[in-house]
Structure 1
Amino acid sequence: MFETDRLLIKPIESIHVNALYEIYMSNPDYVNLTEGTTDGEGSYTKEQMLRDLHIAELTGRQVMGIFKKMDQEMIGFLEYWEKADVDQMPWLGLLIIHKKYQGKGYGTEVTKGFLQWATSVGWPEVRIAVVKDLKDVVSFWQSFGFLPFAEKDKRFPSGMKQLVCMKYQCK
């Protein structure tokens, strides 16, 4: 799909399922926020993740692995829609970096690369939705030029959350 100085972003394959699950579960705050099940009632299983990936595929979402060029280790993943059902616009649905690789600039590098790629393929804009209470995450996206354009409520397994919808104008 695209690459950056240190990373390759490409489709995941069945051999990446265990790494994908490990990446997801390395972020227990996110799992708790969205699924409501990190160590209390219930749990988010690999089977549930596989179900979610299947649903993603059925709805046109693309799931890409984030791999270090140096050793091909998968350190994260992103999901996007070229044309989301809700408005036929491109959306970045999820960007997760393994906890042990956070704070090393990988999220910034992937985001810059993704936005350059989106611009190069002719997308007019990229949209995202962020849980409003996650002020640091909202600030992260604003640092790239994403601007709020709407708010909406969404039901997660963990309950209702208010989302800030933001968009980036490709140049």
Structure 2
Amino acid sequence: MFRLIKNEMNKIDIEKEIMNSNEEYNTIAFDKEFLKEEDIFKEHKEAEELDIERYLVKTGEEYIGILNYGMSSPRFQKPWLSLIAIHKKYQGLGYAKKLYMAYEKLMKDKQVSCIQIAVHSTNEKALNFWTSLGFIKFDERTYEGKVFFSFEKDLS
């Protein structure tokens, strides 16, 4: 159903289009509706520093989303899902849940026993989504002036 395409600097326009279709998320995460090329470059640099694998998600000939994850989170050294973003025109079709389930299967195949995520405390849509998938809040922290909730899901 999905193909994961390595997200590299030469695909920055695709990533920017997907991210900029999600103005509400951008406002929560970046304090602006639309990201510029330099914002995407900054995300790539941070991902490299944190050893995050970055993928564009394709179905058919269409790029529909982004999946970013790491195998060792900076705070807890556990596998973590950094980002799932679905292009606005493909939202409401079940793609986020299906993409998450594909990611969870990938982690189970790697014999991962749990997955962690951090969610902006003000992102109600995301908080509802992740808790509906079985994630449980275990921590709260402030980073760069924003409150995040840390969640974990047991895969064993």
- Tell me the TM-score normalised to structure 1 length: 0.85
Q: Is the 8 A contact 2:16 2:35 kept in 1?
A: no
Quote the Cα distance in structure 1 between the aligned partners of 2:124 and 2:152.
16
- Contact 2:119 2:150 (8 Å CA) reproduced: yes
Distance across 1 between alignment mates of 2:9 and 2:69:
19
Is the counterpart of residue 136 in structure 1 residue 118 in structure 2? no
* Match runs of 1:15-164 below 5 Å: 15-38=10-33, 44-68=35-59, 70-71=60-61, 73-155=62-144, 160-164=145-149
State the AA in 1 paired with 2:153. Answer: Y
Rg larger in 1 or in 2?
Answer: 1
> SS at 1:67's partner residue?
strand
Q: For 2:126 and 2:40, locate their aligned partners in 1 and report how far apart those are by CA, in whole Å.
A: 23
SS at match of 2:111: coil
Between the aligned partners of 1:144 and 1:106, the Cα distance in structure 2 is 14
Distance 1:168 1:100, change over 3 A: same
RMSD: 1.5
Tell me the TM-score normalised to structure 2 length.
0.92
**Residues in 2 aligned to 1:34 and 1:134: alpha-carbon distance in whole angstroms:** 9
- The one-letter amino acid paired with 1:137 is A
Gaps of 5+ in 1: 1-5
- How far did residue 53 of structure 1 move? 0.5
Higher relative contact order (CA 8 A, sep 6+): 1
- Superposed structure 1 runs of 4+ greater than 4 Å apart: none
Partner of 2:154: 169
Secondary structure of 1:145 counterpart:
coil
Aligned residues with identical type, % of pairs: 25
Q: Distance in 2 between matches of 1:165 and 1:51?
A: 23
